[in-house]
Structure 1
Amino acid sequence: MEIRKLGQQEHQDSRRLYEEVFEEDSASFVDYYYTEKTRDNQIYVVEADGGIRSMLHLNPYRLYVNGSGKDVNYIVAVATQKEYRKRGYMSALLKTSLNDMYQAGESFTFLMPASESIYAPFDFRTVYEQNRRFYRSEDEEAADIVITDAKDEDCRELAGWANQRLAERYQVFAIRDEAYYQRLIREYECEGGSLKIYRRDGQIVDCRGCYPNEDNERPKIMVRIVDVRRMLMALRLRSLTGVCFCVTDPLIRENNRCLVVTGTEFSGVMLMDGKEENSEGTITVAALASLIFGAGSVEDVCREEGVEMSQRMKEELGKWIPLSGICLNEAV
């Protein structure tokens, strides 16, 4: 058994496993995925008995996080051939890719789980339910709205409109550019759909997908902190704070450390290495993700296994402003 990252010219070699495991995906979608998305992604595989038996894809996104741009990977297409399951292949791929992402300087990663219980043991936490808005034929009845199918020449304008709108509403979202919307148009088209632009007096006011058979499911998004220090530096504060605590992470050794978090509502977070004898508590990397992304309160995470906090630490962590304004509606 060997774990390795495929070279760009080898990406198509993973298609057979994709089609075998994700048989519900249409041939046209798989064509789209292996034409568009594998052009710039990373594919980790387990090879055994002369073939690819397990894989994990990292699809790159540029995310807006509290006003800054961050390179973040979306974990997708996690798959193992049926005959090779229960051998720890997925676990090995996750550990390898997470540590590589740490070395690359990434703050966190995210995925859409087939089941939350699969990824919770690897310290992923659910932080968002996707909320996609779809075109309805009755939208055409609005007297002052003109709805058209998006074309490549619309993509730059769409990106500018979307980034401004999203930044007004959210703390975390995928930054749009011309290529983002060109890919999204292809994604809808491969399933017989389209991307609709809504205009009022010539100005974009909305953008929605149109699928022949869209469903009302709201897939969940889970995040996993990759670099604790980089993640903490993305936070903003309500007021002056100063606290020393330890973080535990069973998968990324470098995250196991004692930290001093200080700062104000004006300066943001400042970090220093702390001494364990000065620590006011311990928090797991999973509980920290829940707290940072607003999925749990300080009191919630205090009840988790492996978390201990002094009363003062609880009060200081309560001064953190969580990244709860999330919009991550991407499919792949």
Structure 2
Amino acid sequence: MEVRLLKQQEHGKTRLLWEKVFQEDSKAFLDYYYFFKTRENSVYVVEEDEEIRSMLHLNPFLIQVGEGQFDVRYIIAVATEESYRKRGYMGMLLRKAMQAMYQEKQPFTFLMPAAEAIYTPYDFRFVYDQNVWKYTVVEKQEQKSLPVSEAGIGDGADLAAFFMEYFSERFQIYAVRDEQYYQTMLFEQQSENGGIAILKRSEKIVGCFLYGDEDGLEIREPLYLKEYETEFWAAVGKVCEKHGQKEALVYAGISEEEKIGTVEFQKQKPTIMVRILHLESLLRLLKTKAGEQIDCSFAVLDSILTQNSRVWKLQSSPIGESEEGEEAVKEADVAKEVEKQRLSDCETKIYVRETEDSEGVLSIAALTSLLFGYKSVEEVAEEPDVFLSERLKGELKKIQPFDKIYLNEIV
């Protein structure tokens, strides 16, 4: 038995295992995946009896995280041949992949789980729920409408510009949209008997959505300018009628309304789980809430990536901070900056370093729930392996969590 990273030219060897395990995926989808995605992804496998018996794919995405952009890996196609299961192969692959990503100082990895219980032992936690609506076609009713067109390869840049101009500032964490992103997404949707629909007014995009029709019509990422809301849903209706459907599930909408005409909110669906990798890199991206100053320390327990198991000091002033060989900043040099931050109504940077004195203990999983805003300080304090002093609870509440997330990638 051998666990290894495949060479790029070997990636196609995993298709047979994919076809065995994920029998619901169509030939068209797999043709798309193995032509586009395996060009640039990483694939870890377990080989036994001279064949690939287990695999894990890491698909790269450029992810906006706060004010920075990072190459982050999306975990997909974690699979083991049926007769080789219950041998710990999945755990081997996850640990090896996570260690490799840690060495690259990636702040986190993410996935869309088949079942939550599979990944919680490896300290993955849910951080993002998709809003799910149901759209019902309006029978014989006049609606305001605009022309609906199918996106082509040449529309990628305009789609990216539409998202970045009108929607990107709503979120702290999302896959960066560029021309190539939408070009690849177009082929992905077409492999599922769908596409990308565009709504325009005076040659300008005012709405768009992804759709697929394998086991019923599904709409993803319905993005539109508020003043064209009625026209947008009329466009969805046209796509439903084109596919002979009277209704469609709508995923990842950003409206906060419970009902929009015949579009009715159904539920929030836990969708994306995150695993913190290089903790220090993630901590350095944090900021305090507006006008807050933080000064605290806590121990982190990480049984898999033990390099994260340290006592971490977070503070608003850079005293003791040292980066890239520069001398640590002296107290006298930061007095003015600290006062400036105290009076500011903006979020302020948090400085990070190791220390010895701890005010509490957090598991890496609990810290994930906290930093990504999925749980409150009080909720996290009730988790196993967590101890927070009252003072530490107050300080942790000053952190601005990464709770505005929009990660809807499928593969």
TM-score when scaled to structure 2? 0.77
Q: Which 10-residue stretch deviates more, 110-119 or 184-193?
A: 184-193
Equivalent positions of 1:191-270 (< 5 A) are 191-212=192-213, 213-215=216-218, 216=249, 218=269, 220-238=271-289, 239-263=292-316, 266-270=347-351
Residues 85 and 141 of structure 1: is their aligned pair in 2 closer, same or farther, counting only changes over 3 Å?
farther
Give the whole-Å Cα distance in 1 for the aligned partners of 2:143 and 2:180: 30
Deviates more, 1:123-132 or 1:240-249: 123-132
Q: Distance in 2 between matches of 1:134 and 1:32?
A: 28
CA distance in 2, matches of 1:132, 1:175: 22
Q: Partners in 2 of 1:283 and 1:185 — Cα distance?
A: 42
Distance 1:142 1:199 in 2: 16
Question: How big is the shift at 1:199?
Answer: 1.4
> What do you get for the CA RMSD once the two structures are aligned?
1.9
Matches within 5 A, 1:116-195: 116-131=116-131, 143=144, 145-195=146-196
Quote how far apart the aligned CAs of 1:55 are.
0.4
User: Does residue 306 of structure 2 align to residue 305 of structure 1?
Assistant: no
Which residue in 2 is equivalent to 1:314?
A: 393
Aligned residues between the structures = 329
Q: Give the secondary structure class of the aligned counterpart of 1:288.
A: helix
Residues 260-296 of structure 1: CA deviation (Å, up to 9, x unaligned) = 0011555411001111xx2101101000000011110
User: Contact conserved, 1:113 with 1:222, CA < 8 A, in 2?
Assistant: yes
> 1:280-291 alignment to 2 at 5 Å?
280-291=359-370
Q: Residue 211 of structure 1: SS of its match in structure 2?
A: strand
CA spacing shift, 1:219–1:237, aligned 2, 3 Å: closer
CA distance in 1, matches of 2:197, 2:41: 27
Write the distance in 1 (CA, Å) between the matches of 2:360 and 2:125: 21
State the distance in 1 between where 2:210 and 2:136 align: 10
**CA distance in structure 2 between the partners assigned to 1:165 and 1:174 by the alignment:** 15
Question: What residue number does 2:352 align with?
Answer: 271
Q: Is the 8 A contact 2:6 2:42 kept in 1?
A: yes
2 CA distance for matches of 1:141 and 1:292? 47
1:235 and 1:214 map into 2 onto residues whose CA distance is 39
Separation of aligned partners in 2, 1:206 and 1:141: 20
Contact 1:112 1:220 in 2 (8 A): yes
1:7 maps to: 7
Alpha carbons of 1:27 and 1:136: their partners in 2 closer, same or farther (altered >3 Å)? farther
* Offset from partner CA, 1:121-178 (integer Å, 9 cap, x none): 100001112347899876x975353211001111011111112333221111000111
Go from structure 1 to structure 2 and tell me whether the alpha carbon gap of 1:209 and 1:135 turns closer, same or farther (over 3 Å shift).
farther
Write the letter of the residue equivalent to 2:299. Answer: C
**1:44-67 Cα distance to aligned partner (Å, 9 max, x none):** 000111100000000000011112
Query: How far off is 1:77 after superposition?
Result: 0.3
Q: How far apart are residue 214 of structure 1 and its match? A: 2.5
Change in 2 beyond 3 A, CA 1:141/1:91:
farther
**Is 1:53 matched up with 2:53?**
yes
* 2:126–2:270 CA contact under 8 A, matched in 1: no
Identity %: 43
Q: Is the 8 A contact 1:132 1:329 kept in 2?
A: no
Cα distance in 1 between the residues matched to 2:300 and 2:48: 36
Paired amino acid for 1:207: C
Q: Letter of the 1:42 partner, please give it.
A: S
Distance 1:319 1:78 in 2: 37
Secondary structure, counterpart of 2:369 in structure 1: helix
Distance 1:137 1:156 in 2: 31
Cα-to-partner distance string for 1:78-111 (whole Å, 9 max, x where unaligned): 0000001000000000000001000011000000
Structure 2: distance between partners of 1:206 and 1:132: 18
Quick one: distance in 2 between partners of 1:141 and 1:2? 64
Q: 1: distance between equivalents of 2:134 and 2:62? A: 24
8 Å Cα contact 1:135/1:208 also seen in 2: no
Residue pair 1:3, 1:46 contacting (<8 A) in 2 also: yes
5+ long unaligned stretches in structure 2: 219-248, 252-268, 317-340
Change (3 A) 1:84 1:40: same
| Bigger Cα displacement from structure 2, 231-240 vs 43-52 | 231-240
Amino acid at match of 1:269: I
- Give the Cα separation in 2 of the matches to 1:142 and 1:39: 45
Q: How far has the Cα of 1:219 moved from its partner? A: 6.0
When Rg is computed on C-alpha atoms for both structures, the one with the higher figure is 2
- Give 4+ residue runs of structure 1 displaced > 6 Å after superposition: 132-138
Tell me by how many angstroms 1:31 deviates: 0.7
Amino acid at match of 1:172: I
